[in-house]
Amino acid sequence: MTASDKLLMKLSNLDALPGQEAQVQAALQEVIQDSATKDAFGNLYFGDLKTQKKKIALYAHMDEVGFFVHRITEDGFVYFYPIGGWWSHVILGQQVRATCRKNGNVLEGIVGTLPKTSHKMTEVVPISEMYIDFGAHSKTELEEAGLQIGDMILPNTQAKKSFNQKKIIGKALDDRVACTVMAQVKNQIDPKNIEVIGVGTVQEEAGTRGSKVAAAQVEADINIVIDVANGKDTPKAAEFPNRIQGNGPGLVLADKTALANIKLLDYCKAVAEKNQISWQYDLLGGGGTDAGSVQLFAGKPTLVFCVPVRYCHSWNSIVEISDVEEAINLLSAVIHSLDEGGVDLEQF
């Protein structure tokens, strides 16, 4: 198992609801071999923010979609509120774990599968009507265990490798894949002429909130946002299969909130082809990334690197290990080229 595999599986198993990213913050500070600073909002910065060198920022969001405790009934059932995009089909009957912020206790439960009788079998149960059964007898019992309103609830899964050892299956690959890529690139490169700032952002799944703060702190000359999106290579996922696992990271032309700097995209494409690194064009037609916030701070060249991940925003997602490695290879090669080639960043 490679260092990237180990790190991704470790990060996948951590829990970090938007606004409660402490577990991932601590893990990244432990693994990235560079000094870290944290702003008041919770964003992490790895590198010298005050340098006089040109700066390239690598953004990866630390949070994941999840839920928090909304209401506890007197007989011990817990109603919950979703943070980020959820599809009701994937929730019923699933195992969850709630982390009690009061004492650190982790309570395991199941999303109840018995909707009110008025629901037809063909209907989707609204999330507002779902509840979690922790096996408690009363509200008092849960409160004595430490559970309170606002505690985060996340899928109770453990990351694993596929039978052929070529893929990793786990939760929160959106965006722990990017956290892994950013950490590995930071640890592998040693640029002399430019400063690379690794940025772990918070609250991306709640409206790209952290990056709005982070962009002003970094003031980078080039911004590269690393993210993931649903692979379109599964049966009937798309009329035209794209974002194909095994074909490398995508260079994103556009998403709903940002347009790529086309010169920067072409530069990364040329570096990939020169170094025989897999890549593919991408277009995120259904959502946005931190790029939308970062790009609008000062208008600096911005590009999204997108790793294909199947079944995002669900209990278990799947990523191709080679795509993660190629994203690391391509970003490292791009940074090396910009640093050693003496490229004027103003050309973009």
Active site residues: 204
> How many residues make up the chain in this entry?
348
Q: What are phi and psi of 171, to 5 degrees?
A: -85, 165
Residue 106 β-bridge partners: 99
Q: What DSSP letter does each residue of 41-88 carry, written as one string?
A: TS-EEES-TT-SSEEEEEEEE----EEEEEEE-TTSEEEEEEES---G
Q: What are phi and psi of 185, to 5 degrees?
A: -65, -45
Residue type (1 letter), 87: W
> What are the Cα distances from residue 245, in Å, to 24, 232, 241, 306, 318?
26, 9, 11, 11, 9
Q: Would you say 320 and 246 are in contact if contact means Cβ atoms under 8 Å apart?
A: yes
What stretches of the chain show up as alpha helix (H) in DSSP? 3-12, 22-31, 139-145, 173-188, 209-218, 262-274, 291-298, 321-340
**Pairwise CA distance, residues 161 & 4, whole Å:** 13
Q: Would you say 279 and 343 are in contact if contact means Cβ atoms under 8 Å apart?
A: no
Exposure of 232 in the CB half-sphere (CA atoms within 13 A): 16
| Three-point CA angle 41, 39, 229, nearest 5° | 60
Q: Work out the number of other CB atoms within 10 angstroms of the CB of residue 150.
A: 13
